[in-house]
Amino acid sequence: MKNLFKIGLLSVALMTSVVANAVEKIKVEVLGSKSLNVSLSEVSTGVSISIVDTNELVLFSDEVIKVGSFIKKFDLSNLPNGLYYLKTKTVDKINITPFVVDADKAKVIKGDVKTFNTPKFDFKNDVLRVSMDNPDMHDVSIIIYPKESSVAIADEKINAAKIVKNYRFKSLPYTEYNVVMYQGGYSYVKTIKR
């Protein structure tokens, strides 16, 4: 009986840690003909949501302030026919859900939903450490160039589940550099000042 009780307590502890460590859950569904419902659960601070068109023009943007859950209904009836993207950004990742609006309805393109993990940049003692989890094995490019120039001083292409790269800036002549990372069609830019 004691062993059964201990196993029960262990099971409850494991289930609690799984729930506590879960990432934000995103559900996107079409309601009616031209309404999009977005619900986020297990939301932490620093989450933003936006709708953009194919030119990256932001049509809607909001910062989620309330911790817990978030539900938003979008009326898409005023949007021209075309392809759009719902982006949800957290500290650790970006989820992109494409959807199409046509004459009589909106449709989520479920097979094309993408998740990109946000890179971490740590600059200390003239050394930049770039790290990123890449479990989907997206192709990643890292390009570093002086802010005053378009000539790259580093240009690497990487395809690994875990990316960790160090770059030394000590002997470089400029004081500001842009670090651009492309991951599966998505880009991140970080400016480094020495």
Nearest-angstrom CA–CA distance, 112 and 116:
13
Encode the chain (194 residues) as per-residue pLDDT tens digits. Answer: 444 443 333 333 322 222 222 335 788 888 777 888 888 888 777 788 999 999 989 999 888 877 788 888 888 988 999 999 999 888 888 889 999 999 888 899 888 888 889 999 999 999 999 999 998 888 999 999 998 888 898 899 999 999 999 999 998 889 999 999 998 778 899 999 98
How would you list the strands of the sheet with 25-31, edge to edge? 25-31, 35-43, 68-75
Q: What are phi and psi of 111, to 5 degrees?
A: -70, -15
Give domain limits for the chain.
25-116, 119-193
CATH number assigned to the domain with residue range 25-116, chosen from the 4 options 3.40.50.2000, 3.40.50.720, 2.60.40.3080, 2.60.40.420: 2.60.40.3080
pLDDT of 24: 55
Alpha carbon distance, N-terminus to C-terminus of the chain: 64
The CATH class of 119-193 is mainly beta
Which one, of 64, 175, 183, lies nearest residue 135 by Cα? Answer: 183
**Whether the domain at 25-116 and the domain at 119-193 fall into the same CATH topology:** yes
